[in-house]
Structure 1
């Protein structure tokens, strides 16, 4: 991201075994577009990420090996040579069956979060927040927008307005700042579309226009994604993900 640097390093276990790790470090003098320091807000995001991430244990969730707090916090996790799901799809010519297998595994990671006690909303499901490990298995990562349901006051919850990724934001997120499990399901439908068609929802539109039509209730249409025929059953699954929050899977 714009405010963090990621380095590759070595992790040495007590047994002497070495492994490659990713070290994500917050830049010490990060500023916003107006030149104002934003470290405090970013540190809160890192704190949120640590609180959620450190508790998770699933083969479909990237592990958190360790962290350092303070003025320049950092997070240490496994290094994935295959990169993100976006990079993996670009580097490999996968069959539709292989793509569906990756999606099914990523879905297990999201199911793990939603069935955790208390449930966890990831808050930013998208291909670049899914890493592919050395066994070609997807691992959900980047929990900076994640939260345990019920832990945040209504006042703080309004901070989620404007968060997320263009095309992946649910109507209730862009309109009211509501981040919850149905919002993750909405985003997962968007993930299916991008993986299977090659293009994200509303990829032809600028962010502002995408937000306006999302707020109005518009959803992606097959005509904008010719590589995924309108007759494909996946459209029915995605439309269920994009239904009103109470009607999503």
Structure 2
């Protein structure tokens, strides 16, 4: 397709030097031209639009024979652009979206990432059929949760400088062709500094309601434990298939009450104190799984999520503990799956996304 618009390309004043000398611990990102970005997205056509992020729109592109996702931002978002560049040039992990390069024009900035073929976890959890997706099996959900937990653990504990993501949510967990998860969108990521009380970064409150930890909302204290809280909400979404903020059921008024999923699930768990008495909880397990899940494993994940969203950040696990717990849940789930080998329809559907 040939674009009918006439565009005057102007060399951007933005340069790699603006990032500072210490940005690139590893490979430098590729610098693309605005002409390449413009042409390979068909002039940013709607047919190539993948979605809208917190700070810009994301487009599909076949760029230099590689499938990529391009985030398009206005030049006013230089702070977020620089944040993503500085984080993703320093951290590299299988469960973090890889930054390939960038481009800039006089009034726009572009970040070029590896392409996640299956889109966001959010699109697979919430009304998946209307989005053209098959529902995720239990095994796939646990593997996705473990992948995302490993990515988060990496930036919390294993990088030279530690980071708080500050916007963990299902729309920022992307899935590749094999349904393996990668955390994306580091525009709000912050370095965390050491204090006597642990790692903390005081900041204005940013992020997405429904995922924000109470101490972060009240004091603006961004810590690794505030990311853990958001991850707990993600686990509740994986179990229930519901949004992080939900409308109170049965409300007929024009302004129905909106409650956080965390508060709803915590109330359910108080009435289901153990995996044997899960009758109250069954109504809150995603019906798209069609009862094909090991009840004890679902309960264990729900209890892990409950720990993650504890009001007291000290009582929340760290991501290393979350990874260990989810690894154990995955092993138990695989053992459960093996017992279904005689049911070929069920078994093949579960194995598909492993």
> Structure 2-normalised TM-score?
0.56
CA distance in 2, matches of 1:224, 1:210: 17
Q: Which has the larger radius of gyration?
A: 2
1:247 corresponds to which residue?
Answer: 315
The 5 A counterparts of 1:228-239 are 228=285, 232-239=299-306
Q: Does 1:25 align with 2:72?
A: yes
Q: CA deviation at 1:3?
A: 5.0
Contact 1:121–1:148, Cα closer than 8 Å, also in 2: yes
Q: Could you say what secondary structure the match of 1:117 adopts?
A: coil
2:82 corresponds to which residue?
Answer: 47
Sort the Cα spacing of 1:4 and 1:100 in 2 relative to 1 into closer, same or farther, 3 A. Answer: same
1:101 corresponds to which residue?
Answer: 143
Contact 1:219–1:242, Cα closer than 8 Å, also in 2: no
Contact 1:121–1:180, Cα closer than 8 Å, also in 2: yes
CA distance in 2, matches of 1:57, 1:112: 9
Q: CA deviation at 1:2?
A: 6.7
The 5 A counterparts of 1:152-171 are 157-159=202-204, 161=205, 163-171=206-214
RMSD: 3.0
The 5 A counterparts of 1:61-140 are 61-68=96-103, 71-89=107-125, 90=128, 91-115=133-157, 116-140=159-183
2:193 corresponds to which residue?
Answer: 150
Q: Could you say what secondary structure the match of 2:71 adopts?
A: strand
Q: CA deviation at 1:88?
A: 3.2
Sort the Cα spacing of 1:21 and 1:164 in 2 relative to 1 into closer, same or farther, 3 A. Answer: same
Task: Say how many residue pairs are matched.
Answer: 223
Q: Does 1:6 align with 2:6?
A: no
Contact 1:65–1:78, Cα closer than 8 Å, also in 2: yes
Q: Does 1:56 align with 2:101?
A: no
Q: CA deviation at 1:178?
A: 1.4
CA distance in 2, matches of 1:196, 1:218: 13
Q: CA deviation at 1:200?
A: 3.0
Q: CA deviation at 1:224?
A: 8.7
Q: CA deviation at 1:218?
A: 9.1
Q: CA deviation at 1:117?
A: 2.1
Give the counterpart of 2:267 among 209, 214, 221: 221
